[in-house]
Amino acid sequence: MKYIDEFRDGDAARLIASKIAAEALPDQAYNFMEFCGGHTHAISRYGISGMLPANVRMIHGPGCPVCVLPIGRIDLAISLALDRGVMLCTYGDTMRVPASDSLSLIKAKARGGDIRMVYSAADALALAEQHPHREVVFFAIGFETTTPPTALVLREAKARQLTNFSVLCCHVLTPAAITHLLESAQARELGAIPIDGFIGPAHVSIIIGSQPYVHFARTYHKPVVITGFEPLDVMQGILMLVRQMNSGRAEVENEFSRVVTATGNLAAQKVMAQVFELRESFEWRGLGEVPASALKIRPEFAAWDAEVKFDLHYASVPDHKQCECGTILRGIKRPADCKLFGTVCTPESPMGSCMVSNEGACAAHYSYGRFQDIAVVAA
């Protein structure tokens, strides 16, 4: 595969690994958070953690769109399918997210709900056109990457006056979540935030650009390196973070310069601004309420807003008491520190958000990295 294999080359990886090992100061701790689930997945799938020196640690952040979806939001979607008889369309990853009453979308489907897995927002719009006598709802999730396609179908639905289509909007924003991580009460209480720098989002940054991260570098003095999702990108991003720390810099650097610009995709930003506005606050699974961290559909598009159309009211549902997702997502604890990890909480029956998708911190560790825990115990 031309243009992919080059970014997965073992020899190049070993070269960067040796540079990281040589340049990381032995008595310095390097705690870096990769915000995105895409990075978490790459780190686990290619075994990157094991190629780093012991003092360079990766903290898996909350950037997995299905993981941060709170139970109450899934409950709303399930009630639309089961109680209101709508045809509910959503991305495949969303199907297994655990909700109330031991349900999930896949279990609601087994109970007779008409729940369809789609590959794009446009597929959901097409289903609405094919089934004019059915109410079709697109359960829209994701960060800035998946938001522009949702904005486009909403604009399209309005232009065509397609009255049997609506969107249950759960789009969330990356910079707000990073701010929350850095500002959170827990972090302040503990005195020191255990995050020394960020591997910045790849695809999200294509849309929003590198500019929004300057604030984190300046205000919180945290280096940010925007990094691609291929494993060599990640290795290079880590090396750049090590170098920033060693030289006392806290800047926004762009490793993913082949696609990310300072200002991002202006056309996408424009269509998002036309269709969406900021929510005052949104609940994130594992993080709780985060102010100004999500989008809602503008009143001009209210006829296509499922929350308005079906008069939906959000109710927060707490996670399992012993679930440590909140502290794991903040880098305070590691997956194996959670009492539920690998016992009652597994990818087959996830209790908390981090175990839901392979991009989640716990599921990635469970599926790809568990043998490291054993080695630690044995040593």
Partner 1 sequence: MKVKKNYLRPIDFKHGRVDMTHGAGGRAAAQLIDELFAAAFDNEYLRQGHDGALLPQPKGRLVMATDGHVISPLFFPGGDIGCLSVHGTVNDVAMSGAWPLYLAASFIIEEGYPLADLKRIVESMASAARQAGVPIVTGDTKVVEKGKGDGVFISTTGVGVVPDGLLIDGRQARAGDAIVVSGTLGEHGVAVMSQRESLTFETAIKSDTAALHTLVQAMLQALPDPARLHVLRDPTRGGLATTLNEIARQSQVGMSLIEGDIPVLPEVAAACELLGLDPLYVANEGKLIAICSPEAADTLLAAMRAHPLGHGAARIGTVTADDNCFVQMATRFGGRRVVDWLSGEQLPRIC
Q: Which residues bind partner 1 (CB under 8 A)?
A: 1, 4, 8-10, 13-14, 17, 44-51, 95-96, 106, 117-119, 123, 231, 346-348, 366-371, 374
In whole angstroms, the minimum distance from the beta carbon of 285 to partner 1 comes to 18
In whole angstroms, the minimum distance from the beta carbon of 50 to partner 1 comes to 5
Specify whether the CB–CB gap between 288 and 167 falls below 8 A.
Answer: no
Specify whether the CB–CB gap between 288 and 149 falls below 8 A.
Answer: no
Q: What is the residue-wise DSSP string for 245-298?
A: HHTT---EEES-TTT--SS--HHHHHHHHHHEEE-SEEEETTTEEEET-BEEE-
Place of tokens 């090590």: 242
Residue closest to 289 by CA, chosen among 323, 326, 321 = 326
Q: 14 or 218, CB closer to partner 1? A: 14
Q: 226 or 364, CB closer to partner 1? A: 364
Q: How far apart are CA 325 and CA 222, in angstroms?
A: 23
In whole angstroms, the minimum distance from the beta carbon of 375 to partner 1 comes to 10
Please tell me the number of Cα atoms within 13 Å of 255 on its side-chain side: 27
Q: 128 or 332, CB closer to partner 1? A: 128
Q: 95 or 317, CB closer to partner 1? A: 95
Label residue 348 exposed, middle or buried (CB < 10 Å: 0-12, 13-18, 19+). exposed
Q: How far apart are CA 57 and CA 50, in angstroms?
A: 10
- Alpha helices (H) along the chain: 10-23, 37-45, 71-82, 105-110, 121-130, 147-160, 174-183, 185-189, 203-208, 214-219, 231-246, 266-275, 306-309, 325-329, 361-364, 370-378
In whole angstroms, the minimum distance from the beta carbon of 303 to partner 1 comes to 27
Specify whether the CB–CB gap between 184 and 18 falls below 8 A.
Answer: no
Q: 40 or 210, CB closer to partner 1? A: 40
Q: 41 or 279, CB closer to partner 1? A: 41
Angle at CA of residue 75, ends 69 and 79, nearest 5°: 140
In whole angstroms, the minimum distance from the beta carbon of 4 to partner 1 comes to 6
Q: How far apart are CA 182 and CA 142, in angstroms?
A: 21
In whole angstroms, the minimum distance from the beta carbon of 374 to partner 1 comes to 6
What single-letter DSSP state applies at residue 366? I
Q: Distance between alpha carbon 87 and the CA centroid of its chain, in Å?
A: 26
Helices (H) and strands (E) in the chain, counts: 16, 13
Place of tokens 């938001």: 147
Q: 47 or 299, CB closer to partner 1? A: 47
In whole angstroms, the minimum distance from the beta carbon of 185 to partner 1 comes to 34
In whole angstroms, the minimum distance from the beta carbon of 236 to partner 1 comes to 13
In whole angstroms, the minimum distance from the beta carbon of 367 to partner 1 comes to 4
